[in-house]
Structure formats: structure tokens, C-alpha cells
Amino acid sequence: MGAFWPFEPEEWIEMLRYTLMRLGIFAGCLVVVWGLVYSGLAPRGLGSSNGLWIVMLALLLSAPISFVVLRKERDRASVQIAQRVDRMKANMEANRSQEDAADDTSRAQGQTQAS
């Protein structure tokens, strides 16, 4: 797309999709934990830490659920990232060889002028 945008559109869509799915699972866990805490089925936090307690429990529940449920999405996103890294390595190697060739040419010209 350009020098300032690091992702191709397909990569961006895959990462956005995975992130939104992960946030959705967290939001679902947050609602469930909030319901459990306020219904008395799960313990409340101490003092004014109840909100933090609910968020921490939701994070604790959503992490393994996301790990299992989003395995295919995560694998698809990691393939996109690996391909991008390989392209960047190839581009860097091409740039390096161009710089080496230009450096060798300028050194050869410098030696012929000095002779």
C-alpha cells in the first residue's frame, strides 16, 4: 500500500477480524462473570475492588476460551505475518545486494581514478 502503511489489506482484515473476535469473547465472559458475581454465585471483590475483580475473572476465563476457539483464526493470522516477514527479509536482502554492488562500483571507479 505504501511506505507508511505496514500491512497489506488482507493482513489488516485478518488481524482486525481476530482482534474483534477476541474482544467479543472477552465481552461475553465479562457479562457472564458480572452476572455470576451480582447473583452471588461467584465471590465479590474486597471493598471497592469489585469492578477490577470482575474484569480480572473475565480475562482469566476468556484467555483459554480464545486459545481453543480461535485456533484457526490465529493460525491464519500467523501465516499472514510469517509471509510478511519473509517478504521484508527478501526486500532487505535485495536492498543490501544493491548497496553492495553500488559500493563495489564506486570503489572500482575510485581505484581507476587514483591510478
* 59 or 47, which is more confident: 59
* 18 or 95, which is more confident: 18
CA distances from 68 to 11, 22, 72, 79 (A): 22, 11, 9, 18
What is the enclosing helix (H) or strand (E) of 16? helix 9-39
How much is the average pLDDT of 69-87? 85
Instruction: Retrieve residue 20's grid coordinates.
Output: 474483534
Residue at 49: amino acid letter: S
CA distances from 32 to 28, 55, 56 (A): 6, 11, 13
pLDDT over 90, % of the chain: 33
With CA atoms as reference, report the closest residue to 35 among 58, 52, 56. Answer: 58
- pLDDT category, 113, cuts 50, 70, 90? low
Q: Is the pLDDT of residue 9 over 80?
A: no
CA distances from 71 to 26, 62, 99 (A): 16, 13, 42
Q: Is the pLDDT of residue 6 over 80?
A: no
Q: Is the pLDDT of residue 73 over 80?
A: yes
CA distances from 91 to 44, 88, 103 (A): 55, 5, 18
pTM tops 0.95, yes or no: no
The pLDDT value given to residue 50: 86
What's the mean per-residue pLDDT of the chain? 82
Phi and psi dihedrals of 44, rounded to 5? Answer: -85, 160
How much is the average pLDDT of 25-39? 94
The pLDDT value given to residue 98: 75
**Is residue 7 classed exposed, middle or buried when 0-12, 13-18 and 19+ CB atoms within 10 A define those classes?**
middle
